[in-house]
Amino acid sequence: MKSSDIHTTISILTEAVKEWKTPAVSIVSQREGNPFKVLISCILSLRTRDQVTGEASARLFTLADTPAKMGELSPEILAETIYPVGFYRNKSVQIIEICRLLTEKYNGDVPDTIDELLSFKGVGRKTANLVVTLGFGSPGICVDIHVHRISNRLGYVSTRTPEETEYALRDKLPKKYWLGINDLMVTFGQNLCAPVSPRCSICPLHLLCNRVGVGKSR
């Protein structure tokens, strides 16, 4: 895929994803505009389906909607509230620890830099970038498995890990696309460009995609 094709690719994806549901964490950011809720939703979303993430986030924020209130919950109550998200018991402990740190060290405010967010136990680059981009509207590129897979499948980058993909995209992707790239590729990956047997026969990007690593497709 030629670098110049990225403009056409983004334009096509922007139209295509209108047919599908927006990722759960993005819905939270659009509805709430709250970095804390974006952070917590991101943590819940790891290894969890979007529908489960959305429902669990809603239950939890009804119960406690600030770091101070959430940090006072017991791990058992929090785990029961967010079940059945993936690793819900571990996440309940992690969330309480983060909330207590936010309350004690940051006066209840979520830090707005990737480096500072990465200092929180259990917060990786994907979550940190999502909080910065969706919570604060600041430049960042959130690379999850969908962004990593599709960027490589298109032939736009050639990387081995999501972290390598993030840095490659920071060097190559025009900055005006940084904030939206995650939503576009996650939605596209969840609905059409599957990890195994992607639906290439009806893909609107079939003329631009190099189909790197694609064996069987539909």
Domain CATH number, residue 192: 1.10.1670.10
**Same domain? 35 vs 122:** yes
Q: Decide if 140 contacts 114 (C-beta within 8 A).
A: yes
**Same domain? 114 vs 28:** yes
The mean pLDDT value for 31-56 works out to 90
**Same domain? 126 vs 174:** no
Q: Decide if 25 contacts 41 (C-beta within 8 A).
A: yes
Residue 28, pLDDT above cutoff 90: no
**Same domain? 111 vs 152:** no
Q: Which domain holds residue 78?
A: 24-136
According to the model, what pLDDT value does residue 23 have?
Answer: 82
Residue 29, pLDDT above cutoff 80: no
The mean pLDDT value for 36-64 works out to 94
**Same domain? 98 vs 46:** yes
According to the model, what pLDDT value does residue 21 have?
Answer: 86
**Same domain? 71 vs 98:** yes
**Same domain? 111 vs 151:** no
Q: Catalytic residue, from 105, 144, 172, 176: name it.
A: 144
**Same domain? 40 vs 117:** yes
**Same domain? 63 vs 145:** no
Whether 180 is covered by a domain: the verdict is yes
Whether 209 is covered by a domain: the verdict is no
The mean pLDDT value for 48-62 works out to 94
According to the model, what pLDDT value does residue 26 have?
Answer: 80
Q: Catalytic residue, from 37, 50, 91, 126: name it.
A: 126
Cβ count within 10 A of residue 119: 11
According to the model, what pLDDT value does residue 32 have?
Answer: 65
What is the full DSSP assignment across 180-214?
A: HHHHHHHHHHHHTS-SSS--GGG-TTTTT---TT-
What is the full DSSP assignment across 169-185?
A: HHHHS-GGGHHHHHHHH
The mean pLDDT value for 116-143 works out to 93
Q: What is the CATH number of the domain that holds 33?
A: 1.10.340.30
**Same domain? 28 vs 98:** yes
Residue 31, pLDDT above cutoff 70: no
In the chain, pLDDT over 70 holds for what percent of residues? Answer: 98
Whether 149 is covered by a domain: the verdict is yes
**Same domain? 101 vs 163:** no
Query: Is 37 labeled as catalytic in the residue annotation?
Result: no
Instruction: Report the domain count for the chain.
Output: 2
The mean pLDDT value for 13-37 works out to 84
Query: Is 144 labeled as catalytic in the residue annotation?
Result: yes
The string of pLDDT tens digits covering residues 185-197 is 999 999 999 999 9
Q: Which residue has the higher pLDDT, 200 or 50?
A: 200
The string of pLDDT tens digits covering residues 72-110 is 999 999 999 999 999 999 999 999 999 999 999 999 999
CA distance 149 to 59: 32
Q: Mention every residue, 6+ apart, whose C-beta is less than 8 A from residue 60.
A: 40, 44, 70, 78, 81, 82
Whether 208 is covered by a domain: the verdict is no
136, 169, 193 - which closes a domain: 136
Closest listed residue to residue 98, CA positions, set 128, 139, 138: 128
22-26, 40-44, 106-110, 134-138: which range is least confident on average?
22-26
Whether 207 is covered by a domain: the verdict is no
Whether 217 is covered by a domain: the verdict is no
Mean pLDDT over each residue of the chain, to the nearest integer:
94
In the chain, pLDDT over 90 holds for what percent of residues? Answer: 87
